[in-house]
């Protein structure tokens, strides 16, 4: 009679390890409840977490938010954003505070008449990302652009030789009326290379945010008044509610008004306190909430022959 052999089992394959700092079911439920709330249902975790930290709340890290949403199949398509589809580079400029470098451009707004558009003029401060001026007109015009920049300079109390205004090479940007107005105001000009949109990245990024925000109208604008009303609402949201990824997720208005440093210090304190309470959840340092001291427009590349010169810092 054959002997029955007893096979030994490798205990390592049956070992189950649960980290002591694993999120509880209640914590996971709280994360999902917050992410699916009316306030945050269109936001990604990298927008949600900074807002909570600003309010003095720490629920979980950004990576934990992503992991819980991924496991719940709620991570993809949280909003309507779409995937983005050898001339010499302009002079590099660097801003160290608001009202030093502005960038502007014009974009089309569809009307109910096919082939006809309204034209949105948008001016942004690259340091704070704040929209400092805008208007919707029925045509592209150097005169209209001059009117908007004049209003901005008066409202922001801009002095002569304080601001550099960057734009592309469109006719409204280089029109005689606009150039004469800039000279009168003492505003220096900076132009992109012809047919190169990457030289005006801040305006291009702003237009993308505007066109793909969940609240962008699904139907063309019926009247110019309707277009202006919608843009006014967007500008208010963008300046005062939108946490911008390029400036450590503070709002443009907070940075423009020099309130961002205090907010970032508060967020850092919240994270340090959370780490002290449960240190096992951090393998290294807490999230970087350092203040961004300067913003560059078209910085030199390391292998660029011009990089031997430092960017022109506007003080």
pLDDT at residue 312, as a whole number: 53
Q: Is residue 47 part of a domain?
A: yes
Q: Hey, which bits of the chain come out as E strands?
A: 93-95, 101-110, 117-125, 131-137, 164-167, 188-191, 295-297, 312-314
Does residue 307 lie within any of the structural domains? no
Residues 170, 219: one domain?
Answer: yes
In angstroms, the first-to-last Cα distance of the chain is 96
> Residues 275, 261: one domain?
yes
Residues 151 and 238 in one domain: yes
Q: What is the pTM of this model?
A: 0.78
Mark which of 209, 227, 246 sits at the end of a domain.
Answer: 246
Q: How distant is the alpha carbon of residue 259 from its chain centre?
A: 17
In terms of residue numbers, what domain contains 269? 22-79+249-291
Q: Is residue 27 part of a domain?
A: yes
The answer to whether residues 97 and 242 belong to one domain is yes
Domain match, 98 and 229 both: yes
Spell out the per-residue pLDDT of the chain, length 315, in tens. 555 555 566 656 666 656 667 888 888 899 989 988 888 888 888 889 999 998 999 988 888 889 988 888 887 656 555 554 445 566 789 999 999 999 999 999 999 999 999 999 999 999 999 999 999 999 999 999 999 999 999 999 999 999 999 998 889 999 999 999 999 999 999 988 765 656 788 999 999 999 999 999 999 999 999 999 999 999 999 999 999 999 999 999 999 999 999 999 999 999 999 999 998 888 888 889 999 999 998 777 665 544 434 445 444
Domain count across the chain: 2
What's the CATH number where 183 sits?
A: 3.30.420.10
Judge whether 298 lies within some domain: no
- Is there a domain that residue 125 lies in? yes
Verify that 101 and 212 share a domain, yes or no: yes
Boundary of a domain, candidates 192, 220, 246: 246
Domain assignment of residue 119, yes or no? yes
Last residue of a domain, which of 246, 276, 303?
246
131 and 155: one domain?
Answer: yes
* Dist. CA 109–CA 221, nearest whole Å: 7
Same domain, 104 and 40: no
- DSSP characters over 168-197: -S-HHHH-HHHHHHHHHHT-EEEEPPTT-G
Tell me if 62 is assigned to some domain.
Answer: yes
The answer as to whether 302 is a domain residue is no
SS3 for 133-144 is EEEEECCCCHHH
User: Are residues 241 and 113 located together in one domain of the fold?
Assistant: yes
Q: Identify whether residues 110 and 164 lie together within a single domain.
A: yes
- Do 167 and 261 lie in one domain? The reply is no
**d(Cα 31, Cα 37) in Å, to the nearest integer?**
10
Specify whether 230 is located in the same domain as 99. Answer: yes
Q: What is the pLDDT of residue 82?
A: 54
- Report helix, strand or coil for 131: strand
């Amino acid at each position: 009679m054959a002997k029955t052999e007893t096979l030994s089992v490798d205990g390592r394959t049956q070992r189950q390890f649960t980290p002591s700092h694993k999120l509880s079911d209640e914590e996971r439920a709280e994360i999902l409840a917050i992410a699916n709330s009316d306030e945050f249902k269109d936001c990604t975790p990298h927008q949600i977490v900074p807002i909570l930290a600003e309010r003095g709340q720490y629920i979980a890290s950004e990576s934990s938010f992503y992991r819980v949403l991924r496991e719940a199949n709620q991570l993809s398509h949280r909003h309507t954003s779409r995937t983005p589809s050898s001339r010499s580079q302009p002079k590099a400029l660097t801003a160290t505070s608001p009202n030093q470098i502005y960038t502007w451009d014009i974009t089309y707004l569809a009307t109910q008449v096919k082939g006809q558009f309204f034209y949105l003029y948008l001016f942004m401060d690259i340091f704070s990302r704040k929209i400092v001026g805008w208007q919707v007109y029925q045509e592209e015009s150097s005169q209209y652009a001059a009117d908007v920049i004049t209003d901005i300079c008066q409202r922001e109390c801009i002095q002569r030789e304080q601001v550099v205004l960057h734009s592309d090479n469109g006719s409204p940007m280089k029109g005689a009326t606009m150039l004469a107005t800039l000279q009168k105001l003492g505003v220096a000009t900076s132009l992109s290379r012809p047919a190169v949109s990457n030289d005006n990245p801040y305006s291009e990024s702003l237009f993308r945010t505007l066109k793909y925000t969940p609240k962008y109208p699904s139907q063309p604008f019926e009247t110019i008044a309707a277009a202006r009303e919608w843009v006014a609402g967007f500008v208010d949201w963008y300046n005062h509610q939108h946490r911008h990824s390029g400036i450590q997720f503070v709002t443009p208005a907070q940075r423009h008004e020099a309130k961002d440093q205090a907010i970032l210090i508060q967020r850092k304190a919240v994270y340090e306190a959370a780490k002290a309470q449960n240190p096992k959840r951090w393998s290294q340092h807490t999230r970087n909430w350092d203040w961004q001291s300067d913003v560059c427009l078209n910085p030199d590349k390391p292998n660029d022959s011009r990089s031997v010169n430092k960017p022109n810092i506007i003080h």
